[in-house]
Amino acid sequence: MQFFSDNAAPVHPALLAAMEAANGVDTAYDGDALSQGLDARFSALFERDVAVIWTSTGTSANALALALLCPPYGGVLTHEEAHIVADECGAVELQTGGARLMTCRAAGGKLSAQGLRERMAQVRRDVHQVQPHAVSLTNATEYGRVYTPDELAAIGAFCREHGLALHMDGARFANAIASRDCAPADVTWRAGVDALSFGFTKNGALNAEALVLFDPARADEARRRRKRAGHLLSKGRFIAAQLHAMLEGELWLANARAANAAATILAQAAGERLLHPVEANELFLRLSADEAARLRAQGFAFYDWGAGAARLVTSWHQGEAEVAPLAAALSAL
Amino acid sequence: MQFFSDNAAPVHPALLAAMEAANGVDTAYDGDALSQGLDARFSALFERDVAVIWTSTGTSANALALALLCPPYGGVLTHEEAHIVADECGAVELQTGGARLMTCRAAGGKLSAQGLRERMAQVRRDVHQVQPHAVSLTNATEYGRVYTPDELAAIGAFCREHGLALHMDGARFANAIASRDCAPADVTWRAGVDALSFGFTKNGALNAEALVLFDPARADEARRRRKRAGHLLSKGRFIAAQLHAMLEGELWLANARAANAAATILAQAAGERLLHPVEANELFLRLSADEAARLRAQGFAFYDWGAGAARLVTSWHQGEAEVAPLAAALSAL
Amino acid sequence: MQFFSDNAAPVHPALLAAMEAANGVDTAYDGDALSQGLDARFSALFERDVAVIWTSTGTSANALALALLCPPYGGVLTHEEAHIVADECGAVELQTGGARLMTCRAAGGKLSAQGLRERMAQVRRDVHQVQPHAVSLTNATEYGRVYTPDELAAIGAFCREHGLALHMDGARFANAIASRDCAPADVTWRAGVDALSFGFTKNGALNAEALVLFDPARADEARRRRKRAGHLLSKGRFIAAQLHAMLEGELWLANARAANAAATILAQAAGERLLHPVEANELFLRLSADEAARLRAQGFAFYDWGAGAARLVTSWHQGEAEVAPLAAALSAL
Amino acid sequence: MQFFSDNAAPVHPALLAAMEAANGVDTAYDGDALSQGLDARFSALFERDVAVIWTSTGTSANALALALLCPPYGGVLTHEEAHIVADECGAVELQTGGARLMTCRAAGGKLSAQGLRERMAQVRRDVHQVQPHAVSLTNATEYGRVYTPDELAAIGAFCREHGLALHMDGARFANAIASRDCAPADVTWRAGVDALSFGFTKNGALNAEALVLFDPARADEARRRRKRAGHLLSKGRFIAAQLHAMLEGELWLANARAANAAATILAQAAGERLLHPVEANELFLRLSADEAARLRAQGFAFYDWGAGAARLVTSWHQGEAEVAPLAAALSAL
């Protein structure tokens, strides 16, 4: 049983079906009816006009978003363990033309207005230092923490005060929404977010991510940058079909709830071992090498997280039947 | 009936089936068994050790290849109507860090050793001028022409003489091989090609291209650049599955032969209208505005190609039943 | 006697004197009084508020200007023999982050509104093609031609019509002004020029160029990009001192007039050999290999310009005494 | 009396004289005899064949060096307060095409083999993380500390072990050599340094820095990158003249000794206030706001260094007469 990462989980059958249904000949690139219908569909979800740029990976969504929001000579304030820092091999540097990731420390991967203010205060305003032009945060965070609307609104206010754009890496945005049970608008544009990398791949898609721009005037530049980045698939209708299938009947939310529920079961079993509150679908727990070996001997697969700790990630498809044995094994340690 | 482009054609059912079959949980990125098996499979096809980097688009394959072969301060000799010049929105400039496309003119989009030699002679060797470091050619060309092994060997010899790397944009490589009925090795590494963008999407895949490196030592850099470009899909096994399905039983060749055969039927009907010999699956023909309108009124869709000319492209799925009506209509003009 | 290029000419004694005078300890970078006084001084010359960014080379001035005016995914329409194309080793590509130089042909290196319109008409407006965002022209041109205010106004109108910014490479701007005897404003912002690389090095400075921004709001970005490019000298007062000395008593104009006058003398001697009208300080003339050898045997140094032609450039310091012998030798051929 | 920075100090009269002497017409760029003679001159100084690339700023020397040593998808291990991190506005990111500065903490700005080893151990070797390709250290450091040959040799060994190149930012290399009284070779190539930014501007030049490449085979790429960066001055002989004048009779060393001696006098006066040992020409000292105000009231100018501290920098031209009053004032506090 695999608890490595939700990014290796299977594709939801409804999405495979939608892809098969999209297989008639149609216009290439994003000229097809499915791609053309995305703006309206996401605008309904976000309760305002948005532009949606589909792409195949979260890395490309993040880097394209930041290329829109930060010039090459600028910087992006972000957490030192953010995915864009630790797991994307310099993608932001490539797409922005060399902007700098200016990192902050904070527990649980979670930025705060206060922490950003302190980091900002370290920057001289002269021409010799790279100036921040944007903030990028991850929700849910790399440690499975979820921001409250108020926390985000405070960060959004900080950004406006300093002329910074605000990007949200939402590789697990669905899990965050499922966790807080709030409107997507409440934790995005209403809080001051300019661009959201809305991830679907970890949540049951094959290769579908939506870069949501809350200012649709940025869409033309985004589309050109996507093409230039090699991310405009000729058969884009297959990505669009996945996104539609995800929004249909709130499948994205159902999947996220399932993954979160699985994590909650494990969290209860893990009890005092937990290193961070479990608010989405990731668990970080104290686990000795010996304990880890015992779990693995029972067939549970997961990553070590430094010495004496481990990370477990649950996915949309892992129901109680799959999770219960691990919960029992954790309790039995 | 659609003759716009092969890049909008449907996905072959065998590939959809292979993707469904790949849907069990497996390792993420390219750590899965399907991805890991590609080097061996393509090495067999090319009769030597090669490394294969899968990616989702031809644009990314081309730009990644040239980023390996040309430094940021260098240039790439290529045809002025090459896809990398006219249709990729500066993707090569992005991935190389600003290398320059140095264009040549030549009939039918087809470079020659002699033409390259003349272009090279215009370049001063001092530090003030951008120096070519690579040649990029397209096979089949943007005008549906196919290089002979001898023509390519002459270009390869020119490249070695001048210390240039050689890249082949093979968006329609399958059509070229089907046309010449030669070994893939004969028109690639045996002729001096260093990297091949081997396209499958136009030929019946969903989002699968293979960047084939004839020097496997370049693979590590290529993999890092792919990640940085946002092209390392987390569920890469779905791309690898398509590539395996394409090589299985030479489906790639069967598909290309079908498309070429459809083009041959149309070429016979077009007769003296043809602007270029038809060697693969594209036709360029003289067609007045009135004639074009008459064809469109009968339901045939295609692109104008400047004034008084048109481009028709056939695809793997267009059998005689679909092509015959257009052939008849062309004859009847 | 050296007629290779004005870029190797000596430094005018008034500038060396001004540099010596600037040698007291002062604030570093551009915080010194001399640097701070440049905006006002050039604003007076141009009859409007401008911002001036000093730099050490024309190449850096050009590339910084275009980085302000063209995004990385855009293109710059320019002459195929422009200095930025043929003599700057990809500097524009570096500073813009990979924008493309989109070249035009035109006699004498001189763009026209009509020629630009025809070039623009070749560009599809879709996301697949690089879109022009700026025009860059050279005045005086690489062939020593000088634009009239009307020609420039027509180009400026074309640019506004298409949303393009307009940059002037004025490596020999002084020679152009001396030639037309018009106000600097007439051939710059009044004609629609957004940024001017105003060259002084070829005209008697040591390492002083002024990037003149007709919209001072761009200055902050320009200053940051200059720093990032490594062009913010710590002892910038020595560049500023040169610029002040050049503007003092219109030395820049006197030097340019001297160089132009020398060229006029040679032009009269060259007569029907001239390949282009001589309007500034460069001459291009038909000259057989034998004739060239005879001139060189008399001690005259110059460049061949392809087979059967030569380029001669005169400089600010070459008075009649130096030029008359060459004029006589030309007449005697 | 000015103790802000040595980068605002005057130009040494011998260099101004050398520049005047260089003012005859000569070949442009670096084709002149002075530029051509630099390799031999620096090779003698470093006791081996080196190639020297002159440039106008330390920022450009650093960024060009790292562009040679680190690919765009790589990283540079360096101190978090290194000049390339804190004072060059992203110049390294520009010239490398987006490589990442991966920072370390260490007292006094001084890296160590052990510290680098610990930082390196944090990097996963997979394709998701940026991989270090080079180390950049500053000697003398930003806090005026000077490495011993043994410390550097240990760092060099660490680099070879991990396949990393080694760059030294020697903006105050002269002060470091004067401090240790060792051979330049001992703290550069003999210790494993690949490229040295050998600064002269802070030490009495106008705009002259030497990028010293201990592998001359890198020179061609360096020269092309310098041109592309806009740093190939047309009248380069004036930079070369400064470098020759500096090496003549070891003026560079005499100047550095003078600056160091001035700092030593101040260090004795500062006594227990010192925050770091004074090994070159910079002093960091505890100084209350009130004390700082008292010094300033006596005419001494310097930077605050956070709350309760100050930085003083001495220059080549500050003899005992200028320094003694400050020493007295410090003692009297």
User: Using one digit for the tens of pLDDT, what is the confidence trace for D81-121?
Assistant: 999 999 999 999 999 999 999 999 999 999 999 999 999 99
Helices (H), chain A: 13-21, 33-36, 38-46, 58-69, 83-86, 91-96, 113-121, 149-161, 173-180, 219-228, 237-247, 251-270, 289-297, 320-332
C230 touches chain A (CB under 8 A): no
CA distance A83 to chain D (A): 9
Q: What pLDDT score does C320 carry?
A: 86
d(C-alpha C44, C-alpha B173), whole Å? 63
CA dist C243 and C248 (Å) reads 9
Q: What is the pLDDT of residue A26?
A: 81
For chain B, list residues with pLDDT below 50. none
At A56 the pLDDT is 98
The strand pair at A131-138 and A74-79 is best described as: parallel
The mean pLDDT value for A324-329 works out to 97
Number of Cα atoms under 13 Å in the Cβ half of residue D199: 27
Average pLDDT for D126-144:
98
Rg (CA), chain C: 20
pLDDT tens sequence across D273-300 = 999 999 999 999 999 999 999 999 999 9
> CB C221 to CB A97 under 8 A?
no
Contact partners for chain C, using 3 or more CB pairs closer than 8 A, are: A, B, D
In terms of phi and psi (left: phi > 0; alpha: psi -120 to 50; beta: otherwise), the region of A271 is: left
The Cα-based distances of C182 to A159, B326, C174, C208 in angstroms read 49, 64, 11, 23
Under a CB-based contact definition with an 8 Å cutoff, are residues A242 and A236 in contact?
no
Cβ neighbours of D254 (radius 10 Å): 16
- 8 Å CB contact of C57 and D206: no
**pLDDT at residue C21 above 80?**
yes
Q: Nearest CA to CA, how far is D73 from chain B (Å)?
A: 7
Above 80 in pLDDT, residue C25? no
| Structure-token pair, residue D275 | 């925050």
Question: Considering chain A, what is the average pLDDT of its residues?
Answer: 97
A225 touching chain C per CB within 8 A: yes
Contact A127 C72 (CB under 8 A): no
Question: In CATH, which superfamily holds the domain spanning B252-332?
Answer: Aspartate Aminotransferase, domain 1 (3.90.1150.10)
8-state DSSP, B286: E
In angstroms, the first-to-last Cα distance of chain D is 18
Contact B73 D224 (CB under 8 A): yes
C27 three-state secondary structure: coil
Angle, CA of B22, B23 and B26, to the nearest 5°: 85
Instruction: For residue B227, give the nearest of A10, A89, A233 by CB distance.
Output: A89
Provide mean pLDDT across the span C143-167: 98
Query: Do D128 and B227 lie within an 8 Å CB cutoff?
Result: yes
Which positions in chain D touch C238 (Cβ < 8 Å)? 11, 206-207
D253 Cβ contact partners less than 8 Å away, ≥ 6 residues apart: D174, D177, D178
Prediction pTM value: 0.98
C-alpha to C-alpha distance for B154 and B165, rounded to whole angstroms: 14
pLDDT at D204 over 80: yes
In degrees rounded to 5, what are phi and psi of residue C171? Answer: -55, -35
d(CA A19, CA C149): 60
Residue C125 CB burial class (10 angstroms; 0-12, 13-18, ≥19): exposed
Q: Which pLDDT band holds residue A320 (cuts at 50, 70, 90)?
A: confident
Indicate the burial class of D333 (C-beta count within 10 angstroms; 0-12, 13-18, 19 or more).
middle
pLDDT score for C8: 83
Q: Which of residues 71-130 of A touch D (CB under 8 A)?
A: 72-73, 75, 86-90, 93-94, 96-101, 127-130
CA-CA distance, D177 to A73, in Å (whole number)? 34
Q: Domain-by-domain residue ranges, chain B?
A: 14-251, 252-332
C198-255 pLDDT, tens per residue? 999 999 999 999 999 999 999 999 999 999 999 999 999 999 999 999 999 999 999 9
Strands B131-138 and B165-170: parallel
Instruction: Write out the E strands in chain B.
Output: 51-55, 74-79, 100-104, 131-138, 165-170, 195-199, 209-213, 282-286, 303-304, 309-313
Q: Quick check: D25 pLDDT over 80?
A: no
Residue C244 has a CB neighbour count (10 Å cut-off) of: 19
Determine the longest span between alpha carbons in chain B, in angstroms.
Answer: 59
| Chain B residues with CB-CB distance to D225 below 8 A | 73
Task: Using an 8 Å CB-CB cutoff, list chain A residues near C128.
Answer: 227
> A45-82 burial by CB neighbour count: b if 16+ within 10 A, else e?
bbeeebbbbbbbbbbbbbbbbbbbbbbbbbbbbbbebb
3-state secondary structure string, A130-184? CEEEEEEEECCCCCCCCCCHHHHHHHHHHHHHCCCEEEEEECCHHHHHHHHCCCH
> pLDDT tens digits for D166-197?
999 999 999 999 999 899 999 999 999 999 99
CA distance linking residue A305 with residue A142, whole number of Å: 12
Q: What is the mean pLDDT of residues A257-280?
A: 97
CB burial of residue A274 (10 Å; 0-12, 13-18, 19+): middle
Q: Please indicate if any CB of chain D lies within 8 Å of the CB of B230.
A: no
Q: Which residue of A has its CA nearest to C223?
A: A127
Residues A34-70 pLDDT 10s? 999 999 999 999 999 999 999 999 999 999 999 999 9
The SS3 call for residue D28 is coil
For B9-38, write each residue's pLDDT tens digit. Answer: 999 999 999 999 999 878 899 999 999 999
* Interval C178-191: pLDDT, tens: 999 899 999 999 99
pLDDT above 80 for C168 = yes
Mean pLDDT of chain B: 97
Is the pLDDT at A25 greater than 80? The verdict is no
Least confidently predicted of A62-66, A271-275, C3-7, D126-130: C3-7
The owner of tokens 């092209």 is: B231
Distance CA B283, CA A94 (A): 38
What pLDDT does D26 receive?
81
Q: What CATH number does the domain located at B14-251 have? A: 3.40.640.10
Q: How far is C198 from chain D (nearest CA, A)?
A: 15
Contact A89 D73 (CB under 8 A): yes
What is the per-residue pLDDT for D320?
A: 86
Residue A119 has what pLDDT? 97
pLDDT in tens, A68-86: 999 999 999 999 999 999 9
